Structure 1
Amino acid sequence: MSERPFRIDAGDTSVECDPDQKMLDAFLRAGVWIPNSCNQGTCGTCKVRISTGTVDTPPPLDTVLSHTEQEQGFVLSCQSVPTSNLEIDSVTVDSSARHHVLRDISGTVGSIRQVADDTLTVTVMLDEPLEFTAGQYVELSIPGTGATRPYSMANPPGQDGELEFHIRRQPGGAATDGWIFDGMTVGEPVAMTGPWGDFCFTPDDPDLGLILLAGGTGLAPLKSIATAALELDPEREIHVYHGVRFESDLYDVEHWQTLAANHPGVNYTPCLSRGQWSGRTGYVGDAVIADLPSCKGFSAYLCGPPAMVEAGVKALKRRRMSPRRIHREKYTPAIQLSPV
């Protein structure tokens, strides 16, 4: 195999890609934005069409790239490594402030705190600041394995020197059972790559309210988004719904209650899908339908398990929210080859 970088031409844009480097990684490190979400080959967001050249790529799922698309030359840039110079369909060079150059990051564990059953809040003190947009994630490198796992930032951009992550244990998970819940210590070094993802807070019309629907640790990027939105407009109307199974799975309750007390436009509603308690029960999508007769004056961000996200989208559409204002991020266990 050649040790020289391959060239990828995309219209008026060209980047160099090392022989063992994924195409998406090369583009983002060069400051050329390609839409991306899971970075695991399960969502299809980063697909591009190759007109000339060859790549090494694992067989994609039929649900991600159809046989017709594969015959037309489409590949997943997050999974494909060039084996020759390439020409692909043009990409848009987007200089938007919400898109940032991908880079390697280092830091040390600042704190580890159990906040709910099988859920930790971990902070990492960075060696140098990281520019990102609220809603994005980084990939943490699992020591001694060569593997990575994606975790969303829960803190807003601009807090130089520290990142906050909400991490739920995945039984048998290489990152959680193999490291974070079993052996991670305060002060140990952490290697990361980021920022990734197009689940990004967009300021939109300041007159629009926000509806934030979270399942489990899908609350993390929504915490970042809510904080960023309130920094721009402390009076903004924001409805936060956090769905978990049992009361023992709830966390950050005091944070949201304090936020609601300090900002009259913020409403926080935790919902339990199982078990009994004094608060709301059922699913977050049903709670939205019960509480809001119309969602026409809002935009929404949803993050959590796929079933919760899809049900939430249906609820928002039922309440007449425009599809273009619905932003979503699905979390599934890494052992199923998708974001944690």
Structure 2
Amino acid sequence: MGFAVTVGGRRVECDADQSLLDACLRAGLWMPNSCNQGTCGTCKLQVVGGEVDHRDSPFDTLTAEERAAGMALACQARPVSDVEVGGAGDRATHPLRDLTATVLEVADIARDTRRVLLGLPEPLAFSAGQYVELVVPGSGARRQYSLANTADEDKVLELHVRRVPGGVATDGWLFGGLAVGDEVEATGPLGDFHLPPESDDDGGPMVLVGGGTGLAPLVGIARTALARHPSREVLLYHGVRGAADLYDLDRFAELAEEHAGFRFVPVLSEEPAAGRRSGFPTDAFVEDVPSARGWSGWLSGPPAMVEAGVKAFKRRRMAPRHIHREKFTPADALG
């Protein structure tokens, strides 16, 4: 049994066991979204007609008062009648798709870190910085991994995966039996962490700060930004525990050779090494940039680092509307 969901004047069919967000994204209808786990609140919207079942919506994210006022989390809410919602649907988006990909490469690139390349039978439309969900074989669990690709690299998806001890997806699969030639079930693209359309991109200076494999979406975003405006200033900070956690240094050296305004700054927090910055990447930014007026900022990684980055950007007078952060907490970090 299904119901109609009306968003911005458009009607979308939604199954009774399908989230409002999933139905709209599959129809190519935009709704704000980030974590898709009910924890960030990005997809919160107003139900102006009909009723929904809130399912697993956490009360920390959607309070009892908000529910009583007709608010809902689109990633969790299921319709129990025809529904009309407000606050979304004002632009098109890349349609959400189910994919069957083939593993092309599994390579260790740093301590407890792997690169996984997934080949697709046909291109996937996405924006640099978005992510895909993988289905863990035999468990039904779904895990989210950011794409390191630019939008024109649409047939081979690049994922950076950090091993989580005891993790269902990492120890039990991606660092376990995953092999070249395996088929992987995935869904994507997801997330609002990406550059604005090229028509709205003025080529202004950017700073990107990634912690661990939070570097992945920033790779695609930085390369896209430089392709649009080759002379723009782009600072990319990578925060890790030690030198053994760094990777893709040759890739960033090549970018620096091609673009005079690009600089890659690795920062080691726990294991100092000669010739490397020590401390935290957000502190390194504050040391390097006396004023970030007119800049945009991009943050991806552990929540504590992201929050520190927001404070650092504001300290350097970056406009809050130009601060972008990847809000989801990878499910593997939860076990």
TM range (shorter): over 0.9
Deviations 1:143-176 (A, max 9, x none): 1222211111101111242010000011222111
Q: Look up the SS of the partner of 1:314 in the other structure.
A: helix
Residue matched to 2:145: 151
Alignment of 1:41-60 (within 5 A): 41-60=38-57
* 1:33-54 deviation digits (Å, cap 9, x = unpaired): 1000000010111112223333
In the other structure, the counterpart of 1:30 is: 27
3-state secondary structure, aligned to 1:198 = coil
The reply to whether residue 189 of structure 1 matches residue 183 of structure 2 is: yes
Shift of 1:91: 2.9
Q: What is the number of equivalent residue pairs in this alignment?
A: 332
Aligned counterparts of 2:290 and 2:328: Cα–Cα separation in 1 = 28
For the aligned residue pairs, the C-alpha RMSD in angstroms reads: 1.7
The 5-angstrom pairing of residues 110-189 of structure 1 reads 110-189=104-183
Aligned to 1:301: 298
Q: Is the 1:119–1:166 contact (alpha carbons within 8 Å) kept by the matching residues of 2? A: yes
Deviations 1:76-134 (A, max 9, x none): 11112222222323533303xxx211111222000011011110000001110001001
> Which of these residues, 286, 290, 305, is aligned with residue 287 of structure 2?
290
Q: Given residue 185 of structure 1, which amino acid in structure 2 is its aligned partner?
A: A
Deviation at 1:260, TM superposition (A): 1.0
Matched letter for residue 78 of structure 1:
C
What is the TM-score when the length of structure 1 is the normalising length? 0.93
1:109 maps to which of 97, 103, 114: 103
Rounded Cα–Cα distance in structure 1 between residues aligned with 2:190 and 2:207: 23
The 1:5–1:62 alpha-carbon spacing in structure 2 relative to 1, beyond 3 Å, is closer
**Residue identity opposite 2:257 in structure 1:** A
Tell me the percent identity.
51
Aligned to 2:216: 220
Match of 2:63 in 1: 66
Once the two structures are TM-superposed, the CA of residue 331 in structure 1 deviates from its matched residue by 5.0
The 2-side partners of 1:137 and 1:35 are apart by 14
- Determine the C-alpha separation between the residues in 2 that align with 1:336 and 1:218: 13
Amino acid aligned to 1:301:
W
**TM-score, reference length from structure 2:** 0.94
Whether the 8 Å contact between 2:203 and 2:228 is mirrored in structure 1 is no
Give the AA of the match of 2:141.
A
1:93–1:207 Cα change, 3 Å = closer
- Bigger mean CA deviation after superposition, 43-52 or 276-285: 43-52
Contact 1:8 1:15 (8 Å CA) reproduced: yes
SS of the residue 2:180 aligns to:
coil
**Offset of residue 205 of structure 1:** 4.2
Deviation of 1:206 after TM superposition, in Å, equals: 3.2
- Structure 1 counterpart of 2:207, from 198, 208, 211: 211
CA distance in 2, matches of 1:145, 1:59: 19
**Structure 1 range deviating more: 56-65 or 133-142:** 56-65
Distance 1:72 1:331 in 2: 25
Letter in 1 for 2:207: I
The amino acid across from 1:29 in the alignment is: R
Contact 1:50 1:74 (8 Å CA) reproduced: yes
| Greater displacement, 225-234 / 301-310 | 225-234
- Quick check: 2:33–2:42 contact (8 Å CA) kept in 1? yes
Unmatched tracts of structure 1, length 5 or more: none
Q: 2:142 and 2:157 mapped to 1: Cα distance?
A: 17
Is 1:231 aligned to 2:222, yes or no? no
Deviation of 1:11 (Å): 4.8
Q: AA paired with 2:51?
A: T
**Rounded Cα–Cα distance in structure 1 between residues aligned with 2:35 and 2:193:** 10
Aligned counterpart, 1:9: 6
Change (3 A) 1:272 1:61: same
Give secondary structure in 1 for the equivalent of 2:271. coil
Partner of 1:266: 262
Provide closer, same or farther for how the CA distance between residues 175 and 5 of structure 1 changes in structure 2, counting only shifts above 3 A: same
Q: Which residue of 2 aligns with 1:89?
A: 86
Conserved? CA contact 1:170–1:333, under 8 Å: no
Kept in 2, the 8 Å contact 1:218–1:331? The answer is no
Q: Flag the 1:139–1:164 CA change in 2: closer, same or farther, 3 A.
A: same
